[in-house]
């Protein structure tokens, strides 16, 4: 057998030596980055000192493209650095040690000892102790009914809700107080801890009011694919003097005369001519002390003053529909339309045209924070209503923005009080407005943590921490909501600023983040946030539209089940309110317990497969 070529035998060693040199250089750069003297000028909480150093090392690691290095390491069966977030320097040091041994030498230094990952401790400080069978917490946004319905709150805790969230953009302090009292009472009754978080509203950059439409209600039955009535429209009839709300969802709630209402009997037919003069008949199906239910099998258009009649004992008895609010106004916009966004709060108006269809005046609409007009420029994009409608700014001044609509597939309606996003504009908005400060003062006395909306810079975080110090509310946990492009771009600085506190976390608020960063980039953005926060040992809340169809309609889509399962990579998953929220909590609880057997952060765990043998008997 001929001797092996010397040059061929040296080639693998040469490749290993080159790879070793590259890793040593990388390790030196990471060490230098983690020892940045600027870190000493930050008033870090001692529990986060090592975490901040690891974050700096991770940022240095991700400063270049490591694909070639990763492929070489993977070909040798070594760690390819793809799961190094929690302990960057020890991971690289271990690789160096391994390569030195492969080359037949003694390691120049012992690999850096891996300290215990403090992420679990940081999550416990913020969210409390997790359920025994599940490591990822469940947070639920409490609906307004939670202020009056103790049993709902108790059932949420019994279903394994770990954190209750109160949205301070809704309701008022009296309702918040009752919600928190219900949470504390249920927690004590069930001997189950539950943290209360209050979500600060943040700057409300929204559309202004729109001139109201006509006062008409449309009620229609639910039909199947063949047009047959599957479910009649249910109409709630209540007295005009003392109206009572419908006890369950209604197609319309109508106020009528008390004497006429009191005489109704189950099975009677109510006759009317609707707003189109179409003859309609409704059937009274249920009579109670607070009102009556009627059902309609044909579509009806209802307006105040319409006469309702019932034939009884050979006579007709009449009543008229009482007043109700007109339909909320809306602007119908199509692509290439002009929209004038104004600085005043004059109700918006649709575009007007002459008899030939030529534009006379474009549609107008107010803006709740017109001071942003000074910060935007021509050519920058603007989005409305969570990205449903988009446009480009053609002209900007302090009084108005002229916007050309570029995205409104098939035409779209824009209503008042809808969100406005300027993703490429640097808006100079105060981090904490009056409403935020009032909610913060309330939270300091009643809550366990707060969530800061639309945080964009480290200065925003410092302003929040200064206010908490003024309120002597250092006990409050702090969650920074990443929902703007600026907030994402500045995330490393936000993390370092937040490390001044013990209980500190980040929420991936995917609603506005998708609009600001682009829907097509959302998956990459949330992946980067997860990785950066793991490197900083900062717990994450996975939020926005998690199991939304299930919570609102009672049945989940396949895609949202998969999305919720991805939440196992976070420390907490947030559900929003809905009629079927208890079912959503139960489903998420089971899903997270099941998925933690498959995934831990980015690591896939090879659990035993409960499958049949591949060999047939």
Residue 372: pLDDT over 60: yes
Query: pLDDT-based confidence at 313, cuts 50/70/90?
Result: confident
Judge whether 414 lies within some domain.
no
Give per-residue pLDDT as tens, 503-554. 999 999 999 999 999 999 999 899 999 999 999 999 999 999 999 999 999 9
Dist. CA 539–CA 526, nearest whole Å = 14
In this predicted structure, what is the pLDDT of residue 7? 41
The domain spanning residue 443 has which CATH number?
3.20.20.60
Given a cut of 70, is residue 1 above it in pLDDT?
A: no
State residue 461's pLDDT score.
95
Q: What are the structure tokens assigned to 116, written together? A: 């215990």
CATH number, domain of 222, equals 2.40.33
Confidence at residue 254, expressed as pLDDT on a 0 to 100 scale: 95
Please, which residues bridge with residue 207 across strands? Answer: 367
CA dist 351 to 305, 373, 387, Å? 31, 22, 22
For range 80-86, the mean pLDDT: 88
Give the per-residue pLDDT at 112. Answer: 59
**Pick from 406, 424, 454: which residue ends a domain?**
406
> Can you give the pLDDT at residue 328?
79
Q: Count other Cβ atoms within 10 Å, centred on residue 266.
A: 11
The least confident of 57-66, 305-314, 543-552 is 57-66
Q: Which of 166, 200, 199 is nearest to 183 (CA)?
A: 166
The reply to whether 26 and 77 lie within a common domain is yes
Task: Summarize pLDDT for 256-290 with one digit per residue, the tens.
Answer: 999 999 999 999 999 999 999 999 999 999 999 88
Verify that 368 and 444 share a domain, yes or no: no
As a whole number, the mean pLDDT across the chain is 90
**Residue 425 within a domain:** no
Burial 18-31 (b: 16+ CB within 10 A, else e): ebbeebbebbebbb
Pair 288, 315 in one domain:
yes
pTM: 0.82
Same domain flag for 360 and 450: no
Q: Residue 107 domain-assigned?
A: yes
| Residue 604: per-residue pLDDT | 47
Q: What DSSP designation does 79 have?
A: -
More confident residue, 213 or 59: 59
* pLDDT tens string 147-193: 999 999 999 999 999 999 999 999 999 999 999 999 999 999 999 99
Q: What is the pLDDT of residue 290?
A: 85
Q: How many domains does the chain have?
A: 4
Q: Domain containing 27: what range?
A: 11-117
pLDDT over threshold 80, residue 90: yes
* Spatial separation of the C-alpha atoms in residues 164 and 140, rounded to whole Å: 5
Q: Is there a contact between 112 and 95 (Cβ–Cβ < 8 Å)? A: no
Please name the residue that has the structure tokens 């506190």: 501
Per-residue b/e over 187-209, b at no fewer than 16 CB within 10 Å? beeeeebbbbbbbbbbbbbbbbb
Looking at the structure, tell me whether residues 183 and 53 fall in a common domain: no
């Amino acid at each position: 057998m001929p001797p092996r070529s010397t040059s061929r035998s040296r080639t693998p060693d040469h490749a290993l030596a080159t790879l070793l040199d590259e890793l040593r250089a990388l390790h030196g750069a990471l060490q230098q980055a983690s020892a940045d003297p600027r870190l000493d000028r930050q008033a870090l909480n001692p529990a986060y000192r090592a975490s901040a150093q690891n974050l700096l090392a991770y940022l240095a690691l991700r400063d270049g493209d490591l694909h070639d290095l990763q492929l070489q390491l993977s070909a040798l069966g070594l760690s390819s650095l793809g799961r190094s977030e929690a302990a960057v320097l020890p991971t690289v040091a271990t690789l160096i040690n391994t390569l030195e041994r492969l080359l037949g030498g003694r390691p120049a230094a012992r690999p850096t000892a891996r300290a215990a990952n403090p992420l679990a401790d940081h999550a416990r400080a913020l969210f409390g102790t997790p359920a025994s069978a599940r490591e990822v917490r469940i947070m639920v946004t409490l609906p307004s009914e939670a202020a009056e319905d103790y049993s709902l709150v108790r059932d949420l805790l019994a279903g394994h809700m770990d954190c209750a969230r109160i949205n301070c953009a809704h309701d008022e302090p009296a309702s918040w107080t009752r919600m928190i009292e219900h949470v504390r009472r249920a927690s004590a009754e069930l001997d189950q801890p539950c943290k209360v978080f209050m979500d600060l509203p943040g700057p409300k950059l929204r559309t202004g009011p729109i001139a109201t439409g006509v006062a008409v209600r449309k009620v229609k039955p639910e039909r199947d694919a063949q047009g047959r009535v599957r479910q009649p429209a249910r109409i709630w009839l209540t007295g005009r003097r003392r109206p009572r709300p419908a006890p369950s969802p209604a197609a319309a709630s109508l106020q009528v005369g008390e004497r006429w209402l009191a005489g109704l009997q189950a099975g009677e037919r109510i006759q009317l001519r609707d707003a189109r003069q179409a003859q309609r008949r409704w059937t009274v199906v249920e009579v109670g002390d607070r009102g009556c239910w009627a059902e309609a099998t044909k579509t009806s258009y209802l307006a105040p003053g319409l006469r309702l009649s019932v034939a009884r004992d050979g006579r007709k008895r009449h009543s008229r529909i009482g007043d109700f609010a007109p339909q909320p106004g809306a602007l119908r916009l199509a692509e290439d339309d002009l929209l004038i966004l104004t600085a005043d709060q004059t109700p918006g108006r649709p575009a007007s045209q002459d008899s030939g269809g030529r534009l006379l005046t474009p549609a107008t609409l107010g803006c709740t924070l017109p001071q942003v007009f000074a910060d935007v420029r021509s050519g920058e994009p603007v989005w409305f209503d969570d990205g449903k409608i988009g446009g480009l700014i053609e002209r900007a001044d302090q009084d108005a923005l002229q916007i050309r609509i570029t995205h409104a597939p098939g035409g779209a309606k824009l209503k008042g009080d809808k969100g406005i996003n300027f993703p490429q504009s640097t808006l100079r908005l105060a981090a904490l407005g009056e409403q935020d400060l009032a909610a913060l003062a309330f939270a300091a006395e009643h809550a366990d943590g707060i969530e800061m909306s639309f945080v964009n810079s480290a200065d925003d975080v410092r302003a929040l921490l200064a206010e908490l110090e003024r309120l002597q509310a250092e006990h409050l946990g702090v969650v920074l909501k990443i929902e703007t492009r600026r907030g994402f771009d500045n995330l490393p600085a936000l993390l370092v600023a937040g490390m001044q506190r013990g209980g500190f976390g980040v929420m991936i608020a995917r609603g506005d983040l998708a609009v600001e960063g682009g829907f097509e980039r959302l998956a990459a953005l949330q992946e980067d946030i997860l990785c950066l926060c793991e490197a900083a040992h900062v717990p994450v809340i996975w939020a926005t539209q998690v199991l939304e169809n299930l919570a609102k309609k009672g049945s989940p889509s396949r895609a949202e089940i998969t999305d919720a399962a991805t939440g196992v990579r976070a420390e907490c998953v947030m559900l929003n309110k809905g009629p079927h929220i208890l079912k959503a909590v139960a489903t998420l609880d089971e899903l997270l317990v099941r998925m933690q057997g498959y995934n831990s952060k980015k690591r896939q765990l090879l659990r035993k497969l409960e499958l049949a043998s591949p060999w047939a008997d």
